[in-house]
Homo-oligomer: A and B are copies of this chain.
Amino acid sequence: MKVFSVIGITDSGKTTTIEHIIKELKKRNYSVGTVKHIHFHGFKMDVEGTNTDRHKKAGSSLVTARGEYETDILFQEKLSINEILNFYNHDFVILEGARDTCAPKIVTAHDEEAIEERLDETSFAVSGRIADTINEYKGLPAISAVKDIEKLVNLIEEKVFDRLPDMKDECCKKCGYTCKELCSLILKGKAERGDCILDEQKVVLKINGKAIKMVPFVQKVLFNSVESIVKELEGYNENGDIEICIRK
């Protein structure tokens, strides 16, 4: 699953840019999901006086509205990007306004000062209103989603890679870098997605609590065998971690 974020200050063209990207990705037959990060502190989606709002006010800490064609799960907390992405199973997921992620980023802006406010090592393109007047900024291509969507989505296809685990810095760095640093190096062509060490040990097997070493080939055989069965079960999630315990 490829994940990237479109960030930029208010009125820089984030949502318009994302609308054009979604449509072009769909045209290219990708499945697309999105996450909108809302900075407004008072945000809530439900409306005063609905039955679901009454549940919440009475003390229900997780409320779901289940309609015939829509199911809305209203968590009363800010979930992390990783927690949210666990619900997704798409070719591309676009984050709007999310900066607390190591995912590659497009910065939208209406002037150069606004670019500077958001630019960091994980940026790979500039877009939004500024892209009407410049073609590049500090080595990054500036491409308008309104005028040149094909070029912008070509760049997305080229640059965005399968999401990194976004581990906390203190938890991993097994490849020698934080996830953000590795993202930056991949975007610059100085590292590869495969350098993430966590990919090499996807399958861990223990017998009576003792780890059994498996060469990658056996890991794959075990993985494929388990996956082929569990994927048919209700509750399966393509991106979900799988745990199996067999008691003898």
Contact = CB atoms under 8 A, between A and B. Distances in A.
B76 A88 contact: no
B19 A36 contact: no
A73 B76 CA distance: 11
Contacts of A96: 51, 55
Classify chain A: how many residues form its interface, as a range. 35 or more
A247 B198 contact: yes
A78 B69 CA distance: 5
A69 B77 contact: yes
Interface string A52-84: 101101111111111111111111111110111
A222 B214 contact: no
Contacts of A38: 65-68
Interface of A: 14-15, 18-20, 22-23, 25-26, 31-41, 43-46, 51-52, 54-55, 57-80, 82-84, 86-88, 90, 94, 96, 98, 198, 201-210, 212-214, 218, 221-223, 225-230, 233-248
Given A204-B246, A207-B230, A239-B248, 12 more contacts: A15-B54, A15-B55, A31-B61, A34-B52, A34-B60, A44-B67, A70-B75, A71-B74, A71-B79, A221-B229, A238-B248, A242-B244
